[in-house]
Structure 1
Amino acid sequence: MRWFGFGFNAFGQIFVHETLTKGDRSEPVEEVKVSSPTEISSRVDRGDGCSQTDAQIRASWSRRASLHVDGDSRVCLAGFEAAILNDSCGMPMKESRGCRDVFLSESYLTLAFADRIEIWDLQKKERTPSWSVEIKTHSEGSGPPLNLPLVPGGYIATQPPLRRSLSPHLRAKSLALSAGHAILLSASGAVYTWGLGSHGQLGHGGLTSEEEPRAVEALWGMPMSCVAAGGWHSVCVSDGGDLYVWGWNESGQLGLPSRGLRNASQQQKSQQAGAPCQDASTPPTEDPQEGEKHEEVFITIQAFPALMDITPACEVRTVSCGSHHTAAVTTTGDLYTWGWGDYGQLGHQAFISSDEPQRVEFFREQQMCVVDVVCGAWNTFAAVVKEEMAKEIL
C-alpha cells in the first residue's frame, strides 16, 4: 500500500526538498501548495538495516503522524518541528515502539499501546509523556478493540481536559472529533453528536450547542458504518453506502450548491472571456413567465442530514473531512473530493474550489485504486494499491 498527499505543505507535512543553498549549507524550502497527488516516502529507516512501511496516517493542520507496523511498530512525525520530535537521522520516536494506534491533534500526540495510553504535549521538548494511564489488555468476548480517540470508558479530546468520559450505554464503535464538535457512531449504527452547533454541524435541525451526546433523529433506523467531522460540517456513510452531509456549506464542503463559489466561478469565467459588465444602456433580459421561473437554491447551512449522490454507479466505502473540504472513497476504488481547494487539497492539479464532487483522475490514470483517505485541515492523504490488488482489499 502506498500513500499520496496533496494540499497544504508549508511545514513539509507531505514532502520536504532542499533547493536553497546558503554558504556551505542547504536549507529545506517547502512547496506550500501541492495540487497534484505526490507520493509520500513509504519507508523509514529503523536503524538496524531494515525499514518499515506506513499502515496508518493521521494529520493535523501542521503535522502528519505515520504509524509503521512492520516488525516493532513505531510512529514518525512530519511537519512542524518534526526534526526535534523524531529521533536523530529521521528515525521514528523510539518511545513509540510497540504502538498500536495513534491520534494527532495540533497540540497533542496520543499513542495507544496494549497496556497503556500516553499523551505527548507537542509544545514541550521533554521526552516523557504529559499524561498516561494503564489499561486492561483486551480479551476476547469483551467487544471489539477500541480505536483512538476512543479509550476505555471515554475518549481523548483535542484540548484539556484531555480524557473525557462517555456513558457506557452508548457502546461506542468509532468517534470523530473536530475542534468544536464530536460525532459518535454506536455499535448499533446510530449517530450521536455534541459540542458546538452554530453552523448546523450537529444535525439536529437548529444552531444550538449540545453539552451531552444527542442522537441524530433524522438518521434513526438507518445504520451507519462511518462518521467524519470537519471544521463546521459532518458526514456519515450508511451500511448501504449512502452518504449523508450536514453543517456549513460556505465553501461547498457539503457538495451542495454554494452561492459564494458559484458567484466566484461566474466572475472568473467572465474575466477570462473578457465579457463586458452590464451597464444602464444594456437592455435587461426579459423576465420569464411566472410558471417558467427556475431559481437555483443555494445552501449555506444544512442543519439536517441531507442525502448526497456522488455517483449513481457506485457506493461510498469511507469518508474523511478537512476544515472546509471533504473526500470520499467509493467501492470501486475511486476518490472524490469537493469543497475548498485553494491549497490543492482536492487533488485536481489546480487550486480551485468546487461544490460538486469530482473524481481525482490522477489515480485512475495511474491504474491505482484508492482504499483509504485521511484529511488534514488543509490537505488530503490517500492510500492506494495497484488495480490488480484491489479485489483483495475492496
Structure 2
Amino acid sequence: MRWFGFGFNAFAQICVPEKSEKEESNSAVGQEKVCVPVELVNHIGRSKIRASWSRRASLFLDEESCVRLAGFCASISNESFSPVTVNTSDCQDAVISETHLTLAFPDRIESWDLQSKDKTPSWSMEMAQSQNSAKSLALGGEHAILLTAAGAVYTWGQGSHGQLGHGGLIPEEEPRTVEALWGMSIRSVAAGGWHSVCVGDGGDLYVWGWNESGQLGLPSRGLRKASQQKSDQQAGEQCSSFSTRPDEELHEEVFISIQAFPALVDVSPSCEISTVSCGSRHTAAVTTTGYLYTWGWGEYGQLGHQTTSSLDEPQCVEFFRTENLHVVDVVCGSWNTFTAAVKKEVLGLKNVPQLPPVSTASELWTTC
C-alpha cells in the first residue's frame, strides 16, 4: 500500500524539497502548494496517516510499530520524518494536533505534549473493555460527531453553520441524536471545520453544515459567482449582463449556503462510497470501485486536480485513474489530503492489503 499527499505543504507535511548548498537548514522548508499527488517516502506496508494544519503523523502497524512525524518542528533538520520516542507497541490509532499527539491503545489513551521533552505522557486514561457503545468520534472545528455501535449519529457543540444537522443554528451542550438519520444504519462519520458528513451501510453519502466553499457538494453561490465573473472577463462585455436576467435570479434560489439537515449527495451514480474524510473546507470520498472524488475549497491544491480552483460538485481525481491505482483510504488534513492506494491487478484485485480494524474507542479524527 502506497500513500500520496497533496495540498498545503508550507511545513513540509507532504514532501521536503531538495535544497541547494547555499540554503541554510532552517530556511523555508518547501513549496506551499502541492497540486499533484506526491508519493510519501518510506510508507510501504501497513500504515495510517493523521494530519492537522501544520503536522502529519504516520502510524506504522507492521512488526516494528512506531509513530513518525512530519511538518512543523519535524523537518527543520531537512529530514522527512522525526521519530516519536514513546512506546507505541499495540498502538491502534493516532491523532495529531498543533500541540499534542494522542495515541489510542486497546486498554488506554495517551496524550503527549509535542513541546515538552518529558518521557511520560501529559495525560492518560485507562479504557475498560466494556466501553464499546461508541464506534467512532469525529471532531470538527467547533463541533463533535459520535457514531454508536448500533449505527446512530449524535452531534453537539456549536451549530452556527448548521453543522449539527438538527435543522437549526443553535449550539448543543450535550450529545443529541440527528433525527433525520434515525432508523438508518450509519457506517462512518467525519467532521470538517464547519460541516459534517456520514456514510450509510448502503454506501450513500449524507452531508450537512456550511457550504460556502462547496464543501457539501451542493451548489455554492460564492463559487458560481466567481466562475461567472471569470467567464465574463474572458467573453468580454457582451456577456456582462447575463447574470442579471430574471431567470438567473430565480436560479440563484437553489444555491445553498447552509444545509441544516442531512442531504443526500450523489457522488457517483455507478458505485457506492466506502470511506470519506473532511478538511477544514473540503471533502474527499473513496468509492467501492477504488476511485477518489474531491470537492470544496481548493486554494492549496488539496483537491488533487492539478489546479487551485474550488469545486461545489464531486470530481474524480484523474491522477489515480491514469496511474492505474486503486484507492483504498483517504484522510484529510485542514488544507491537504492524504490517500492510500494499491496497483490494480490485470485480472482483478487480489491480495489487496486492508487496513486493520480500529478499536471502538480509538478512531478519533481532528480537523482545525
TM-score normalised by length of structure 2: 0.87
Deviation of 1:83 after TM superposition, in Å, equals: 4.6
What letter corresponds to residue 30 of structure 1 in structure 2?
G
State yes or no: 1:334 paired with 2:291: yes
Q: 1:286-297, aligned counterparts within 5 Å?
A: 297=254
Q: Contact 1:19–1:28 at 8 Å: present in 2 too? A: no
Give 2:307's aligned residue.
350
Q: Contact 1:19–1:26 at 8 Å: present in 2 too? A: no
Give 1:196's aligned residue.
158
Give 1:93's aligned residue.
84
What letter corresponds to residue 61 of structure 1 in structure 2?
W
| Residues in 1 aligned to 2:63 and 2:42: alpha-carbon distance in whole angstroms | 15
| Residues in 1 aligned to 2:8 and 2:163: alpha-carbon distance in whole angstroms | 24
State yes or no: 1:311 paired with 2:268: yes
1:124 maps to which of 113, 116, 122: 116
* Cα 1:84/1:312, change in 2 over 3 Å: same
Q: Contact 2:69–2:81 at 8 Å: present in 1 too? A: no
Q: Contact 1:85–1:125 at 8 Å: present in 2 too? A: no
Segments of structure 1 that go 5 or more residues without pairing to the other structure are 44-51, 143-151, 153-167
* Cα 1:267/1:39, change in 2 over 3 Å: same
Secondary structure class of the residue paired with 2:13? coil
Secondary structure class of the residue paired with 1:21? coil
Give 2:50's aligned residue.
58
Q: Contact 2:15–2:40 at 8 Å: present in 1 too? A: yes
Secondary structure class of the residue paired with 2:21? strand
Q: Contact 2:69–2:82 at 8 Å: present in 1 too? A: no
Further displaced range: 28-37 or 333-342: 28-37
Give 2:341's aligned residue.
384
Give 1:4's aligned residue.
4
Give 1:301's aligned residue.
258
2:282 maps to which of 325, 329, 332: 325
| Residues in 2 aligned to 1:131 and 1:287: alpha-carbon distance in whole angstroms | 60
What percentage of residue pairs aligned between the two structures are identical?
Answer: 65
Aligned residue pair count: 349
| Residues in 2 aligned to 1:56 and 1:123: alpha-carbon distance in whole angstroms | 23
Deviation of 1:71 after TM superposition, in Å, equals: 1.4
What letter corresponds to residue 384 of structure 1 in structure 2?
A
Deviation of 1:90 after TM superposition, in Å, equals: 4.4
* Cα 1:60/1:295, change in 2 over 3 Å: closer
| Residues in 2 aligned to 1:77 and 1:64: alpha-carbon distance in whole angstroms | 6
Give 2:60's aligned residue.
68
Give 1:236's aligned residue.
198
Deviation of 1:82 after TM superposition, in Å, equals: 1.2
State yes or no: 1:39 paired with 2:39: yes
What letter corresponds to residue 229 of structure 1 in structure 2?
A
Give 2:185's aligned residue.
223
Segments of structure 2 that go 5 or more residues without pairing to the other structure are 355-368
Give 1:261's aligned residue.
223
Deviation of 1:85 after TM superposition, in Å, equals: 11
Give 2:22's aligned residue.
22
What letter corresponds to residue 68 of structure 1 in structure 2?
F
Q: Contact 2:211–2:258 at 8 Å: present in 1 too? A: yes
Secondary structure class of the residue paired with 2:232? helix
RMSD: 2.8
Deviation of 1:70 after TM superposition, in Å, equals: 1.9
Secondary structure class of the residue paired with 1:82? coil
Deviation of 1:117 after TM superposition, in Å, equals: 2.3
Further displaced range: 33-42 or 117-126: 117-126
* Cα 1:295/1:134, change in 2 over 3 Å: closer
| Residues in 2 aligned to 1:284 and 1:321: alpha-carbon distance in whole angstroms | 32
TM-score normalised by length of structure 1: 0.82
Deviations 1:109-152 (A, max 9, x none): 1112344322111233434321123445x5xxx5xxxxxxxxx5
Deviation of 1:92 after TM superposition, in Å, equals: 2.0
Give 2:332's aligned residue.
375
Secondary structure class of the residue paired with 2:174? strand
Deviation of 1:211 after TM superposition, in Å, equals: 0.8
Runs in 1 of length 4+ with deviation above 6 angstroms? 23-26, 283-286
| Residues in 2 aligned to 1:23 and 1:229: alpha-carbon distance in whole angstroms | 39
Question: Looking at CA atoms only, which structure, 1 or 2, has the larger radius of gyration?
Answer: 1
Q: 1:89-168, aligned counterparts within 5 Å?
A: 90=81, 92-98=83-89, 99-135=91-127, 152=131
Deviation of 1:294 after TM superposition, in Å, equals: 5.4
| Residues in 2 aligned to 1:301 and 1:212: alpha-carbon distance in whole angstroms | 22
